[in-house]
Amino acid sequence: MAKGLPKRSEDYSKWYNELVKKADLAEHSAVKGCMIIKPYGYSIWEKMQAALDKMFKDTGHSNAYFPLFVPKSYLSKEADHVEGFAKECAVVTHYRLKNAEDGSGVIVDPDAKLEEELIVRPTSETVIWSTYKNWIQSYRDLPILVNQWANVVRWEMRTRLFLRTAEFLWQEGHTAHATRREAEAETVQMLNIYATFAEEFMAMPVVKGVKTESEKFPGAIDTYCIEALMQDGKALQAGTSHFLGQNFAKAFDVKFADKEGKLEHVWGTSWGVSTRLMGALIMAHSDDEGLVLPPKLAPIQVVIVPIFKTEEQLESIREVADGFKHELLKLGVSVKFDDRDTNSPGWKFAEYEMKGVPVRIAIGPRDIENGTVEIARRDTKEKKVVSKDEAVQYITDLMEDIQRNIYAKAMDFRAELTTDVSSYEEFKEVLDGKGGFVSAHWDGTAETEEKIKEETKATIRCIPMDAEEEDGVCIYSGKPSKRKVLFARAY
Amino acid sequence: MAKGLPKRSEDYSKWYNELVKKADLAEHSAVKGCMIIKPYGYSIWEKMQAALDKMFKDTGHSNAYFPLFVPKSYLSKEADHVEGFAKECAVVTHYRLKNAEDGSGVIVDPDAKLEEELIVRPTSETVIWSTYKNWIQSYRDLPILVNQWANVVRWEMRTRLFLRTAEFLWQEGHTAHATRREAEAETVQMLNIYATFAEEFMAMPVVKGVKTESEKFPGAIDTYCIEALMQDGKALQAGTSHFLGQNFAKAFDVKFADKEGKLEHVWGTSWGVSTRLMGALIMAHSDDEGLVLPPKLAPIQVVIVPIFKTEEQLESIREVADGFKHELLKLGVSVKFDDRDTNSPGWKFAEYEMKGVPVRIAIGPRDIENGTVEIARRDTKEKKVVSKDEAVQYITDLMEDIQRNIYAKAMDFRAELTTDVSSYEEFKEVLDGKGGFVSAHWDGTAETEEKIKEETKATIRCIPMDAEEEDGVCIYSGKPSKRKVLFARAY
Ligand SMILES: [Zn+2]
Ligand SMILES: [Zn+2]
């Protein structure tokens, strides 16, 4: 493994790109904007999926699968929705290739033109609500609590691995309810699940809030979101949960008969997180040596590196290592024993630092003599020599401590980089200085929001759910405001 | 639930279609050829995925993700491959829609034409081998053992739910090796994994064999397959494992330096099973009352139906049911207690028969008095009154018995419907009579294979791996043959 990431302080963006590559997480493909998620990166995504999927199922949701293609006319049925998605979509127009007559290769067969073009789904509200129309007749058919794990495509010209790609993987929940109240409760429940996942698994603190009109999902009444802060002081939207009202039910004419037999439009929600979370996870904790993973999402939680010169030394180390492996596996800890003789211990140390393995055990001949092992934690890089007999307990405690510590560190960082300001001057100073979240009064108009964005590149990340009502004046227009909102430059 | 499937004996094809619909497995979508996999159907697929994924990982494979889109030029790099897939593919030609000037809605923006068309992947060999080129330099980089769970699209005019759809879900393994021997061993290993999965989880016996030249995967040297027999006497290809030789390595110029530093082309395999397995599972065991599921793949293994008139009766039944549920869950058995008062017990019995739940417990007031429960098995529909205290053990034994029994039944059926023939006359009689697998001598030529197919609609399913060498003459041409091959009409 070639060492040497750029330092975060020197070129954060290059640091990120190199880290994604050197930790074997993902790479660009030959298809513009589409990424390849490499096995190590994908194994982290699988851990995320497993944790989220369990939370969805524990709250009564089931998975299903809906078509990749959306007929063009479907996309158009909800006015805001088509406006939001038509500008960046992959369009299938033909269903066959044929050999060129001049022998130059295969060409699109002009005789195989589709009557109606198909859009590769950018999101599935339209396909799913056109289906729900057939699934819902009466209140007995409600609620429908369905999720899908899928790929989606939103054409992007400027892409970054995990953060912005033309194709990405995600889950999209789509629920249907008899009442507004129930749909709203679902929207908030799913937001809370995302926040819990971000904080407890990713060790990444998030602000829960509501998007402004101009930032909300095309077709939603309200978009709730979780916003995280990256180490460069930029915000990242990590998940969204939309209260759709009756918009899609109206667009696709989905009604149900209530207990009195009266026909009503159905209430809907949708909610999603994507492989963008990988980008957030990478940027939230990692350092100049590489990835730092929370133990709960690390595919390899403990790596054992033997330090040996002779085959006999390796054998006696292997005996100890196998014992650890066995005991840790019983406790559900994933362990790798790297006994390759093609690479030096130093090379391996750097490799597993780059890959963010939370705990490293090194065992050498002297350890064998003394009945000890050396245990290093990835987050603080502290090392400790521990008696062999106490090592398993030490490691399980350590993993909990690492999970807590990187969360606390990210929490402290966010606290430092969240600033209340009361003037536009101060607002701009903070943004250009330390960056981060800036809490400020805003007059509630799209005009002001747009002006601030144009002038500073900062957007309103959300109106925090815990924002208290307080009288103030908008930092930009001086007009009255009832509560502060959270601004930031963002990914 | 509306009862009444068509009988298999009267209209097998309609029976299948209705069963898929009434058991809530899948339905057609508005997009021609694309299906919707409903929550209940998808939960069976999830069980299949989990079992297969574990088998892949236990044999050293990792999951990854590659792009949905294949540049047109990539598809063309392997001559047989493009020939096999160009005729039925979805072609993305544009990346934007815009509002029509006449206000009639959105249209494809002619200014957003792609320089090179993109094909929605029908399979990913080309994308993956173009990537492996960058991953492989030396023998140390080999083997690469990667799998991907994904959606693929092969344009189909005539579609059937699960069996033949334009979009389907599958896994595709793609491995790269330093030697021919190792790649061949991988090909056979994965075939064996598929056979084990089919037999042990799906309770579906399969024949392992090799495809003929004309039936093999476009781009492969050899295609191995597992072939199952459906209740209508038609065969179904349930999984394939391809030895690719160096074909894709040559097409994408993927070479590695061996230990002596000599550059060699890499050897490859690919292997896949798809949601087609759902069709096979449905057809292998189900009956005129509905689905019959093997316990190992049943999302609900045990359903408890209370029989009650009063709320007090329900309460005392609930107490017993909760006890069972608790005990069975501890043993890893999935249990549903259906206490809805909106449907009668008879309706529920029919519903869970339709859905193939392996074991049904009915508990009524008399059972409460007597300390008993009534246990019914879905496969044979036998019922037995069992003492409450013995019920848990009875049920766990019963599930094993059901798993065994439906396998044995399918095995007997296949034995009855596998016929050795020695003349073309007999061959046609069997095909038009009982159907099934027909074992016959074939002269090994594509001409004969094609003639037989034209005249009888039967194809060579495979050359069974356990076929013994025996001298004979081709039933069609009378030319010499060294072994019998397996013919059938097929899905
Ligand atoms: Zn209406
Ligand atoms: Zn070559």
Six token digits for residue B76: 């063309």
Using the mean position of ligand 2's atoms as its centre, give its distance from the Cα of residue B174 in Å.
Answer: 20
A62 contacts B42 by C-beta, under 8 angstroms: yes
Are A278 and A25 a contacting pair, CB within 8 Å?
yes
Interface test with A, best of B69, B130, B153, B162 (most A CBs within 10 A): B69
Q: Which residue of A has its CA nearest to B43?
A: A63
> Which amino acid type is present at position B308?
F
Distance B356 CA to ligand 2 centre (A): 53
Answer whether A149 touches B (CB < 8 Å): no
Fold of A12-90+122-285: BirA Bifunctional Protein; domain 2 (3.30.930)
Distance B123 CA to ligand 2 centre (A): 23
Is B38 near chain A, with CB under 8 Å? yes
Half-sphere exposure of B50 (CA within 13 A, CB side): 12
> Is the Cβ of A169 closer than 8 Å to some Cβ of chain B?
yes
Q: Do A64 and B36 touch (CB under 8 A)?
A: yes
Task: Quickly name the fold that domain A418-488 has.
Answer: Translation Initiation Factor IF3 (3.30.110)
The residues, ordered by sequence, that sit 6+ positions from A348 with a Cβ below 8 Å of its Cβ are A303, A305, A338, A340
Q: Residue A180: which of A91, A250, A268, A93 has the closest Cα?
A: A268
Q: Do B151 and A155 touch (CB under 8 A)?
A: no
Residue B3 has a pLDDT of: 63
Distance between CA atoms of B356 and B281, rounded to whole angstroms?
11
Question: What's residue A3's pLDDT?
Answer: 63
**Of A67, A91, A134, which has the smallest distance from its Cβ to B108's Cβ?**
A91
Residue B485 DSSP symbol: E
Q: Which residue from A72, A88, A97 is facing B86, i.e. has the nearest CB?
A: A97
Closest listed residue to residue A221, CA positions, set A239, A243, A241 = A243
Asked if the C-beta of A284 comes within 8 angstroms of chain B's C-beta atoms, the answer is: no
Q: Is B263's Cβ below 8 Å from some Cβ in A?
A: no
Residue A405's Cβ-count burial label (10 Å; 0-12, 13-18, 19+) is middle
What ipTM, to 2 d.p.? Answer: 0.96
DSSP state for residue B93 in the 8-state scheme: E
How is residue B486 written in tokens? 């397996």
Check B29 against A119: CB less than 8 A apart. no
Among the bound ligands, name the one nearest to the CA of residue B265.
2
Report the residue of chain A nearest B25, measured CA to CA: A64
Domain ranges of chain B: 12-90+122-285, 300-398, 418-488
DSSP 8-state code for residue A290: B
Does the pTM surpass 0.95? The reply is yes
Q: Is A37 on the interface with B (CB under 8 A)?
A: yes
CA of residue B250 relative to chain centroid, distance: 31
Question: B369 vs B365, B395, B405, CA distance in Å?
Answer: 6, 21, 33
CB–CB contact B120 A31 (8 Å) = no
| CATH class of segment(s) B300-398 | alpha beta
The Cα of B443 is separated from the nearest Cα of chain A by a number of Å equal to 33
Of B30, B127, B146, the CB nearest to A39: B146
Name residues with Cβ closer than 5 Å to ligand 2, which is an ion. Answer: B 250
Return the DSSP state at B200. I
Query: What residue of B is the nearest CA neighbor of A117?
Result: B108
**A75 at the B interface (CB within 8 A)?**
yes
3-state secondary structure of B50: helix
Report the residue of chain B nearest A87, measured CA to CA: B96
What letter represents residue B318's amino acid? R
By residue count, chain A amounts to: 491
Find the residue in B nearest to A144 (Cα): B39
Instruction: State which amino acid sits at residue A428.
Output: K
CB-based contact (8 Å) between A376 and chain B? Answer: no
Which of A61, A97, A157, A158 to mutate to test binding with chain B, by most B CBs within 10 Å of its CB? Answer: A97
Query: Residue B37 and residue A140: Cβ atoms within 8 Å?
Result: no
Confirm or reject contact between A274 and chain B (CB < 8 A).
no
- A43 part of contact set with chain B, CB < 8 Å: yes
8 Å CB contact of A42 and B30? no
Residue B453: enclosing H or E segment and its boundaries? Answer: helix B446-456
B406-465 pLDDT per residue, tens: 999 999 999 999 999 999 999 999 999 999 999 999 999 999 999 999 999 999 999 999
Q: Do B39 and A67 touch (CB under 8 A)?
A: no
CB contact under 8 A, A65 and B150: no
**Per-block mean pLDDT, blocks of 10 residues, chain B (491 long):** 82 97 96 95 98 98 98 89 90 94 88 96 96 97 98 91 97 98 98 98 98 95 98 98 98 97 98 98 97 98 97 96 96 96 94 98 97 98 97 98 98 98 98 97 97 98 93 96 96 95
Chain A residue numbers with beta carbons less than 8 Å from the beta carbon of B105 are 73, 76
Distance from CA of B363 to the nearest CA of A (A): 25
Q: Which residues pair with B106 in a beta bridge?
A: B99
- Chosen from A28, A44, A69 to mutate, greatest number of chain B CBs within 10 A: A69
Q: Given CB atoms, is B108 within the 8 Å cutoff of chain A? A: yes
| Chain B contact present for A438, CB below 8 A | no
Q: Cβ B39–A64 below 8 Å, yes or no?
A: yes
d(CA B21, CA B253): 47
Asked if B351 and B359 touch (Cβ cutoff 8 Å), the reply is: no
- Contact across the interface for B42 and A64, Cβ inside 8 Å: yes
CB atoms A118 and B90 under 8 Å: yes
Question: In chain B, which residue's Cα lies nearest the Cα of A275?
Answer: B65
Interface residue B89 vs chain A (CB under 8 A): yes
Calculate the dihedral angle through the C-alpha atoms of B225, B229, B234, B237, rounding to the nearest 10 degrees. Answer: -20
> Which ligand is located closest to the Cα atom of residue B254?
2
| pLDDT, tens digit only, all 491 positions of chain A | 456 899 999 999 999 999 999 999 999 998 989 999 999 999 999 999 999 999 999 999 999 999 999 999 998 888 888 888 988 999 999 999 998 888 888 999 999 999 999 999 999 999 999 999 999 999 999 999 999 999 999 998 788 999 999 999 999 999 999 999 999 999 999 999 999 999 999 999 999 999 999 999 999 999 999 999 999 999 999 999 999 999 999 999 999 999 999 999 999 999 999 999 999 999 999 999 999 999 999 999 999 999 999 999 999 999 999 999 999 999 999 999 999 988 999 999 999 999 999 999 999 999 999 999 999 999 999 999 999 999 999 999 999 999 999 999 999 999 999 999 999 999 999 999 999 999 999 999 999 999 999 999 999 999 999 988 999 999 999 999 999 999 999 99
Do B69 and A118 lie within an 8 Å CB cutoff? Answer: no
Of A31, A96, A153, the CB nearest to B88: A96
* B35 part of contact set with chain A, CB < 8 Å: yes
CB-nearest partner of B89 from A75, A97, A150: A97
Chain A residues with CB inside 8 Å of B127's CB? 29-31
Question: Does the beta-carbon distance from B88 to A70 stay under 8 Å?
Answer: no
A positions 285-344 inside 8 Å of B (CB): 342
Question: What's the CA-to-centroid distance between B264 and ligand 2, angstroms?
Answer: 8
What's the farthest any 2 CA atoms get from each other in chain B? 83
Contacts with A119 from chain B: Cβ below 8 Å: 97
